[in-house]
Chains A and B, each alone.
Chain A
Amino acid sequence: MMIKKSFVILVIFIFMFVSFGCGQADRDRLIKLATTTSTEDSGLLNVLLPEFTADTGYSIDVIAVGTGQAINMGEKGDVDVILVHARDAEDEFVDEGYGVNRKDVMYNDFLIIGPEEDPAEIKGENDVIVAMEQIAETESTFVSRGDQSGTHMKELSIWEASGIKPQGEWYKEVGQGMGDTYRVGNVMDGYVFIDRATFLFNRDNYELVEMVEGDELLVNHYGIIAVNPELYSHVNYEGVMTLIEWITSEKGQDIIEVYGVDQFGQPLFVPNAK
């Protein structure tokens, strides 16, 4: 009988445990945001979103994936709003009727980082296309996201502009987020195409250094787009519009402008909402 008693107690315990806290937050007050790993990994959202919640009462669930996947979630109506960085794909998202009210939020830039030894001799090169050509010519290890993210698409567009089809032993597609790709690149002593926020946020832990930066081609724009409520009636359109207004407001933009200065000596993003 001992067993049965303890079993019953266990069952009751589990039942109580299970029922408590599993309730969902009020859907009207909740916004589901799909965004890129860079905005989460850089820590920006940890600063921005609590302020937003305090000001408006809306809470936000952040799902951090690659831009490609974030857009895909928007197309399926699994999220209410997306914050991504791939202008062409964003425009397509809007043109096809999935998204409405696209707004510029901020930008930063991409750079190429690599090992100190610099086998492709690109350090200080200010033409990113020339640098990529040299990496390909010398077949120096290059670690690519390979995940259809905004960063990956940008990297591919630069390869395309240089007329090179990156392939071969030296070109490694890892199919992972920016932080993971950075880590792999660091282990392999390879070159990595990376956004500045992720680079600054992680660089103390790793050895790769700046190689190429400042080219016009390397600017990285972030846009926020509401999922079309006419397509998916369940999206929290009111909440999303509040978010878009807030993030492009003076207050939201000011927070973005100073984020990172204390920690990294320079801002990670430049706000540019109109």
Chain B
Amino acid sequence: MEIILQGIKEGILLLWSMEPEIMQITLLTLQVSLTALFLATLIGIPLGALLALKEIPGKRLFLNTVYTLMGLPPVLAGLLVYLFLTSQGPLGHYQLLFTPTAMIIAQFILALPIVTGLTARAVMAQKQEVYDTAVTLGATRVQAINSIIREARLGIAAGITTAFGRVIAEVGAVMMVGGNIKETTRVLTTSIVLETRVGNDSMAIALGLILLLLAFLVNLVIILLERRSFKNETTIKII
């Protein structure tokens, strides 16, 4: 208990001191995770919407694959990325192993199915009525589809938050493809592993606190954006 309390105390002091190394690690963590998340969102939302709205052959199979990949074990993702990027691997000559780019690729692979799958589910949950109403009101086909996606925004936002939670807490895959290199690829999770390994438990807790705070702040931003878009809608009140 003493260690935990001391860790929390140390964590607050660390945050307060804004030590350059900690700042750099924190910034890199954000940079890698947000980039991966951003790319996954860019591809995942249209892909999810497409899967939900369009009839294409093999759609069920594809959707089921996406749902399965939502549970892809991070270390397996890491191993695959490693094998592709290793200098003998198919993408070896790009020399990407042990760089932030490799970590972004691994996290992207983990985030993409989550964003795609949850977007597809959220869009599918929208009723035909939304489309019909929009068309009745004179919307073109594209506009009508747009309004369905808008209506599904809450579910899509949930997908983004879930994916973010997954990538920022990721350790196995980024350790494998990033190498936990000081000042280059060391992120909060991998430095927690390192600090634990050298018996520096309170420091590890401190870094964990920063990670938690980061997750909280990013989620807060997403929630605020989401609330803005639902300004005029009230929550359901049963009583």
Binary per-residue interface labels of chain A (189-207) against chain B in the complex, 1 for a CB within 8 Å, 0 otherwise: 0000000000001100110
* A-B complex: 6 closest residue pairs judged by Cβ atoms: A179-B197, A205-B199, A63-B179, A77-B87, A3-B229, A202-B199
Question: B201-221 vs A: 1/0 string, CB under 8 Å?
Answer: 100000000000000000001
In the complex, the answer to whether A37 meets B197 with C-beta atoms within 8 Å is: yes
* Residues in chain A near residue B198, CB distance under 8 A: 41, 179, 201-202
Considering only CB atoms and an 8 Å cut-off, how many residues of chain A contact the other chain?
A: 37
* Separation of A6 and B229 alpha carbons in the complex (Å): 10
Tell me whether A62 is interfacial, beta carbon within 8 Å: yes
The answer to the question of B182 belonging to the interface, with a C-beta cut-off of 8 Å to chain A, is yes
Chain A residue numbers with a CB within 8 Å of B97 are 78
Report B-chain residues with C-beta under 8 Å of the C-beta of A206. Answer: 199
Contacts of B180 in A (CB 8 A): 63-64
Task: Tell me the bound Cα distance from A24 to B181 in angstroms.
Answer: 13
**Measured between alpha carbons, how far is A2 from B87 in the docked complex, in Å?**
47
> Of residues 33 to 74 in A, which have CB atoms within 8 Å of B's CB atoms?
37, 40-41, 61-64
Q: With A and B bound together, what is the CA distance between A61 and B98 in angstroms?
A: 9
Interface residues of B (CB under 8 A from A): 27, 30-31, 34-35, 38, 86-88, 93, 95, 97-101, 179-182, 184-185, 194, 196-201, 221, 225, 228-229, 231
Give Cα A21 to B104, complex, Å: 14
Determine the chain B residues whose CB is within 8 A of the CB of A17 once the complex forms: 30-31, 34-35
Whether B182 lies near A18 (C-beta < 8 A) is no
Residue A22 at the B interface, CB < 8 A?
yes
B196 contact set on A, CB distance < 8 A? 179-180, 183
Residue of B nearest to A13 (CB): B34
| Bound Cα distance A178, B194 (Å) | 11
Other-chain residue from B30, B88, B100, B194 in contact with A76 (beta carbon distance below 8 A): B88
CA distance A254 to B100 in the complex (A): 34
22 contacts between A and B (CB under 8 A): A2-B229, A3-B225, A6-B228, A7-B225, A14-B34, A14-B38, A21-B31, A22-B31, A63-B179, A63-B180, A76-B87, A76-B88, A77-B88, A78-B86, A78-B87, A179-B197, A179-B199, A180-B196, A180-B197, A201-B199, A205-B201, A232-B87
